[in-house]
């Protein structure tokens, strides 16, 4: 393996080893072209090299111990399921949590979801401890996925009696009565990302049964007016496309024994007047309100494949250039 960068070790160095007796496992831990090693090396100022019986990690004592622990977690994951894809996002998540306490998890019968970034940790904790959570951030940060998964886990545990999924159908001008089909068929195109997340953590038959019995309810934002939503996990996605009046109306629907999770991306507003987004207003005025938490993700929190983060950053750079008039 060739060097991936020179390190100036300012303290006495230590060398630790991690035994791996299977070259295929070593390759999975290393990642394509030793990408995982490179990420750990840059973050911890250590060097990782292949040894006769596994891996050798060299650097300051605390850093090498942290690096070996992260590599051990990668190895454990690789051994547990040889089909599991270990990506760079997972490695960065392990690094982020290395000194930040336990990794928060969402547990359902079908699968367990682990936080892969510090702010994902924060969001899961916030959903557990608060009745209203507003999560803002770009695509790929996992904010909506975590909200749906947490709602599904609450339903399985009996903490709520139903899940309500809601999105503003801006593209249809909220005039859904003109679209063909029943209510589910009318709003399906706008709620597909929420369905996908549900099916990821609940059995397909369970999801369909709950939808049929209204345990899982799909409703456009326009149909929330006048309702009180008790003993429910209520999710409003694409919240950046709500008006101020719609957002206030939605937030005041929360009833006894309910939790609300509101997610959106303030850089993707489709309203005719973006400055009138109710989500932006809510993020500003609800800080400090009791039982409310606000989690704001950034581009560095993107957990999808690296390309997604690169795309987001490229668009942000272009936006800044246009604003500066260059």
- The domains of the chain are located at 13-97, 105-299
Does residue 30 carry a pLDDT above 80? yes
pTM: 0.68
Residue 315 CB-density burial (10 A; 0-12 exposed, 13-18 middle, 19+ buried):
middle
Average per-residue pLDDT in the chain? 84
Instruction: Kindly indicate the confidence band of residue 199, based on its pLDDT and cuts at 50, 70 and 90.
Output: very high
The pLDDT value recorded for residue 153 is 97
pLDDT category of residue 9 using cuts at 50, 70 and 90: very low
CA distance 156 to 151: 9
Average pLDDT over residues 106-125: 88
H or E element, residue 56 = strand 54-60
Residue 317 has pLDDT above 60, yes or no: yes
Specify whether domain 13-97 bears CATH 2.40.110.10: no
pLDDT, tens digit, 9 for 90 and up, residues 69-83: 999 989 988 887 666
Over residues 153-192, the pLDDT tens digits come to 999 999 999 999 998 875 444 444 555 555 556 566 667 7
**Distance of alpha carbon 319 from alpha carbon 268, whole angstroms:** 12
DSSP reduced 3-state for 107: strand
In the chain, what percentage of residues exceed pLDDT 90? 49
Q: What is the pLDDT of residue 145?
A: 94
Q: Is 40 helix (H, G, I), strand (E, B) or coil?
A: helix
Q: Cα 313 to chain center, whole Å?
A: 17
Q: What is the pLDDT of residues 209-236, one digit of tens each?
A: 999 999 999 888 888 888 889 999 999 9
For residue 10, the model assigns a pLDDT of 45
Identify the CATH assignment for 105-299 out of 3.10.290.10, 3.10.20.30, 2.40.160.10, 3.40.50.300: 3.40.50.300
- What are the residues whose beta carbons fall under 8 Å from the beta carbon of 212, sequence distance 6 or more? none
What is residue 1's predicted lDDT score, i.e. its pLDDT? 43
Q: Is the pLDDT of residue 99 over 50?
A: yes
Greater pLDDT, 134 or 32: 134
pLDDT band at 150 (very low <50, low <70, confident <90, very high): very high
Binned at pLDDT 50, 70 and 90, residue 237 comes out as very high
In this predicted model, what pLDDT tens digit does every residue of 41-74 receive, in sequence order? Answer: 988 889 999 988 899 999 988 889 999 999 998 9
Band (pLDDT 50/70/90 cuts) for residue 8 is: very low
């Amino acid at each position: 393996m060739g060097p991936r960068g020179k390190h100036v070790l300012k303290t006495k160095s230590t060398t630790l080893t991690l035994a791996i007796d299977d070259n295929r496992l070593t390759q999975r831990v290393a990642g394509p072209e030793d990408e995982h090693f490179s990420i750990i090396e840059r973050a911890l100022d250590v060097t990782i090299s292949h040894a006769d019986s596994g891996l050798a990690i060299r650097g300051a004592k605390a850093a090498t111990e942290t690096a070996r622990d992260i590599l051990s977690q990668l190895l454990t994951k690789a051994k547990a399921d040889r089909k599991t894809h270990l990506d760079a996002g997972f490695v960065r998540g392990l690094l982020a949590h290395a000194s930040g306490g336990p990794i928060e998890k969402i547990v359902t019968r079908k699968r367990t979801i682990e936080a892969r970034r510090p702010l994902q940790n924060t969001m899961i904790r916030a959903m557990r401890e608060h009745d209203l959570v507003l999560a803002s951030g770009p695509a790929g940060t996992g904010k909506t996925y975590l909200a749906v998964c947490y709602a599904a886990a609450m339903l399985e545990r009996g903490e709520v009696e139903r899940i309500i999924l809601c999105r503003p159908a801006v593209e249809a001008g909220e005039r859904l009565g003109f679209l063909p089909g029943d209510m589910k068929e009318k709003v399906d195109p706008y709620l597909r990302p929420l369905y996908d997340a549900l099916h990821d953590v609940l059995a397909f038959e369970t999801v369909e049964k709950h939808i049929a019995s209204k345990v899982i309810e799909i409703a456009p934002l326009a149909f929330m007016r006048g309702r009180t939503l008790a003993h429910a996990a209520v999710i409003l996605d694409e919240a950046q496309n709500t008006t101020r009046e719609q957002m206030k109306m939605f937030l005041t629907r929360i009833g006894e024994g309910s939790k609300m999770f509101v997610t959106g991306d303030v850089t993707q507003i489709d309203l005719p007047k973006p400055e009138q987004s109710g989500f932006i207003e809510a993020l500003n005025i609800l800080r400090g309100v009791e039982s409310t938490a606000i989690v704001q993700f950034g581009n560095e929190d993107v957990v999808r494949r690296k390309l997604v983060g690169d795309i987001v950053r490229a668009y942000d750079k272009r936006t800044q250039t246009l604003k500066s008039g260059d």
